[in-house]
């Protein structure tokens, strides 16, 4: 049985390697769908949506109204420090694909119940683009 919950956050980023407009500082209203597949418990729940929120919301809160910056993008890190702006420094380029893998890893490291078999994250960077990956927890 699969359950899913959607999360949203606002975040700035840039892709320094990009030859088009994505090398510029810009932001997105990100959305992700977290899907969990597992056996329902005796009460008929794979995972209480309430518990799902308690696990995932803090991870999303870290990103919300921050600027995600690649650790090699020294000028931007220096600028964000100078203006005392919220930032999340990562060791990857902030593509939708990499943000999707980042969220999967962060969620995987939490204390998820044993009845969960697979975890899927779908990250929408814009309203018509997404990156999706699924991992097994067994």
Ligand X SMILES: Nc1nc2c(c(=O)[nH]1)N=C([C@H](O)[C@H](O)COP(=O)(O)OP(=O)(O)OP(=O)(O)O)CN2
20-27 long-range contacts (CB < 8 A, ≥24 apart) are 25/67, 25/76
Q: How many CB atoms lie within 10 A of CB 36?
A: 24
- Residue indicated by tokens 């119940």: 113
Backbone phi, psi, residue 66, to 5°: -110, 180
Query: Would you call 6 a catalytic residue per the annotation?
Result: no
CA nearest neighbour of 69 among 83, 56, 79: 79
Q: Per CB under 6 A, does 126 bind ligand X?
A: yes
- Interface characters, 91-110, with ligand X (x: CB under 6 A): ----xxx-------------
Query: Would you call 61 a catalytic residue per the annotation?
Result: no
Residue 35 or 97 with smaller CB distance to ligand X:
97
Quote the least distance from Cβ 131 to ligand X, whole Å: 6
- Residue indicated by tokens 């990103």: 63
Q: Is 18 annotated as a binding residue?
A: no
Q: Per CB under 6 A, does 90 bind ligand X?
A: no
Residue 10 or 81 with smaller CB distance to ligand X:
10
Beta bridge partners of 5: 34
Residue 112 or 133 with smaller CB distance to ligand X:
133
> For residue 9, what is the enclosing H or E element?
strand 2-13
Residue 96 or 119 with smaller CB distance to ligand X:
96
Q: Among 6, 18, 65, 134, which one carries the catalytic annotation?
A: 65
Query: Would you call 18 a catalytic residue per the annotation?
Result: no
How far apart are alpha carbons 55 and 127 in whole angstroms?
A: 25
Which residues are part of the catalytic machinery? 22, 65, 125
Q: Where do contacts with ligand X occur on this chain (CB under 6 A)?
A: 15, 22, 95-97, 125-126, 128-129
């Amino acid at each position: 049985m699969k359950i899913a919950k959607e999360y949203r956050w606002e975040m700035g980023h840039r892709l320094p390697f990009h030859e088009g407009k994505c090398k510029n500082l810009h932001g997105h209203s990100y959305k992700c769908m977290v899907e969990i597949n597992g056996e329902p418990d005796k009460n008929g729940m794979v995972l209480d949506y309430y518990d799902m929120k308690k696990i995932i919301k803090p991870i999303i809160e870290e990103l919300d109204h921050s600027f995600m910056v690649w650790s090699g993008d020294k000028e931007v890190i220096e600028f964000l420090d100078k203006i005392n702006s919220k930032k999340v420094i990562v060791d990857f380029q902030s593509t939708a694909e990499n943000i999707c893998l980042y969220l999967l890893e962060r969620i995987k490291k939490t204390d998820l119940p044993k009845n969960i078999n697979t975890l899927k994250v779908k990250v929408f960077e814009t309203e018509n683009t997404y990156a999706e990956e699924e991992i097994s927890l067994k």
